[in-house]
Amino acid sequence: MKFIKFKDFPLRIKIIFLVCSVIILALFVTNYLTSKSIESTTISNIEEKARDVSRTMALSPIVIGGLTGEMEDTVLQDHVEQVRKATDVLFIVVLDMDRIRKTHPLKEQIGKKFVGGDERLVFLGIENISIAEGTLGHSLRYFTPVFNDNEEQIGAVVAGLLLEDVEKAVSENRAILIIGTALSLLVGILGAIFLAEKVKAILFRMEPSQIAQLLEERSAMLHYAREGIVAIDLTGKITLMNSEGERLFKKISHHEGQFEGKKIEDIFPNSRMTNVLITGIAELDKEISYNGINLLANRVPIYVDKKIVGVVATFRDKTEFKKLAEELTRVKVYADALRAQTHEFMNKLHVILGMVHMKCYDELVEFVKNTTTKLQEDVGYITKHVKDPILAGFVLGKLSYARERGAELIFKKDCYVPIAKNTDDTHELITILGNLIDNSLDAVQGCHTKKIEVSAKYNDHFIYIRVSDTGVGISDNHLETIFQKGYSTKGEDRGMGLYLIQQCINRLNGTIDVISEEGIGTTIDIQIPYEAEE
């Protein structure tokens, strides 16, 4: 037979069992102690009753008179019996100094000697209580000496109750206690069941093992996430931070030690998590710069029962996104340049093929000569003035792309760009020039004159770039917003070119100026630091 271990029982059964066990143990101890207390109190009350009756009778003038002969025995007997019945005791016996009964509930016992052997102390003038076997059975008896006016002992009074009556009184009290204990146990069991159900509901009906497994899984998810995850409570103190969050916060705040329990404003004042805590409005995909480090942040309020209890935020080092965006931008620029050159080359091949079919060989020779001359002029000029082969190839691609779009792209004769000491600067130049030229090509479409002039000069560790076009221009109202991410007058999914240019210039600590007039055109001047290769 296979036994189920206690740890394998459902949580509900465990709670009910443990709570009931505690209640039963507590009630057992309480019942035992209360029972003893009741028993002791009951006996004490009975003893007190016997004592009071015995003392009262010992002071009674009738009892004193009966013992001194001043009162007839019948009057004494009647008086004592009246008191006995009124006080509900088993017996009241008046004894003279010879231990002879002057009164007794049983008249035939009057005049006979007291039996029991426990009356010795009372005839020495000492009150005492005892339990002994008498003519009426096993009883509790209280002895009180009787004195005359001269303080001489003249007899004794004995008041008693059967021990059966004492045990009966104790049993009655114990029965009440047992009934109370049983009702308490029933209430405790119902309370245990209610508590178990409540706890299970709070735990979403899950067992502790399931909760532990879920907690381990969630902890692993948090700590292995690539984003830094941080949570704060209503007081703005950090309650949760994963490993990536600790790495980022140490990097930006130079704080050593534990972060949990610290105020977020003391560690990262620019986090804006307390703002979300106050407003209750989520802030998504927002950029934060602190101590020279750019982060991309998402901040969301935490609601429980429709009340804000905290804020959770994710942070990601924007450098990673920047590198990825740069790579994508460069690939796109290179691809566009290659596509334009390929398209132009295919068009010329089609012209050559048509002339061959028409046997226009003289015209074909002239066309090839002009094309070769033009290509050599472009290549020669660009390679002479743009020393970096990557940048030169990109410029040649843009020349082809401009011709494809029916625009005239002119690189001024004073252009000169040396090879950059840092290759990243070359890629930044490609991003800047590529987006400037693309924007100008878009601006001149639909205009009578489609002309774009580009100047790039190197002087005293700076590159000066100017791009002018004869396009539609930019209104004064739009000049302040053209560098915003996603802003464009050309439709949806646009507005990234000038934004990327602004980001590149910021990274290079450069400057940009825009001069534009509607219907005339736009001129953009850029100045950026540039270290040439020696």
Q: Which of 339, 286, 336 is nearest to 315 (CA)?
A: 286
Contact partners, residue 225, CB within 8 Å, separation at least 6: 242, 244
CA angle 80, 85, 91 (to 5 degrees): 65
Closest CA to 435 of 489, 505, 381: 505
Looking at residue 493, what is its pLDDT?
Answer: 45
Nearest to 288 by CA among 317, 259, 311: 317
Angle between helical axes of 361-385 and 318-358 (0-180°, round to 10): 160
Q: Which CATH superfamily is domain 228-318 in?
A: PAS domain (3.30.450.20)
CATH topology for the 13-169 domain: Beta-Lactamase (3.30.450)
State pLDDT tens for residues 113-134.
887 778 888 888 899 988 877 6
More confident residue, 437 or 404: 437
**Pairing verdict, β 451-459 and 408-411:** parallel
Backbone phi, psi, residue 241, to 5°: -155, 125
User: What is the C-alpha separation between 208 and 219, in angstroms, rounded?
Assistant: 16
What percentage of residues in the chain have a pLDDT greater than 90? 3
Tokens of 513: 């100026």
Top mean-pLDDT range of 71-75, 305-309, 367-371, 524-528: 524-528
**Residue 167 confidence (pLDDT):** 65
Q: Does residue 111 have a pLDDT over 50?
A: yes
Please check the confidence at residue 519 and state whether its pLDDT lies above 50: yes
Residue 248 has pLDDT above 80, yes or no: yes
215 membership: H or E segment, kind and range: helix 208-224
Q: Which of 27-41, 282-296, 319-333 has the lowest mean pLDDT?
A: 319-333
pLDDT by residue (tens digit) across 155-167? Answer: 999 998 876 766 6
pLDDT bucket at 145, cuts 50 / 70 / 90 = very high
> Range with the lowest mean pLDDT among 191-195, 410-414, 452-456?
191-195
Residue listed under structure tokens 């004159």: 449
Residue 248 φ then ψ, to 5° = -65, -45
Selecting from 3.30.1370.10, 3.30.160.110, 3.30.565.10, 3.40.50.300, what CATH number does the domain 360-529 have? 3.30.565.10
Q: Which residues make up the CATH 3.30.565.10 domain(s) of the chain?
A: 360-529
Helix axes 423-444, 497-508, angle to 10 degrees: 150
In the block, tokens 């008046």 appear at 94
User: Which has the closest alpha carbon to 533: 389, 459, 439, 423?
Assistant: 423
Mean pLDDT along residues 103-107: 87
Residue 447 has pLDDT above 60, yes or no: yes
pLDDT band at 1 (very low <50, low <70, confident <90, very high): very low
Rounded to two decimals, the pTM is: 0.40
Residues 6+ away with beta carbon under 8 Å from 452 = 402, 407, 408, 409, 410, 437, 440, 441, 444, 467, 468, 469, 470
Three-state secondary structure of 235-300:
CCEEEEECHHHHHHHHHHHCCCCCCCCCEHHHHCHHHCHHHHHHHCCCEEEEEEEECCEEEEEEEE
Mean pLDDT of 313-330: 65
CATH 3.30.450.20 domain position(s) in the chain:
13-169, 228-318
Q: Which residues contact 372 (CB under 8 A, 6 or more apart)?
A: none
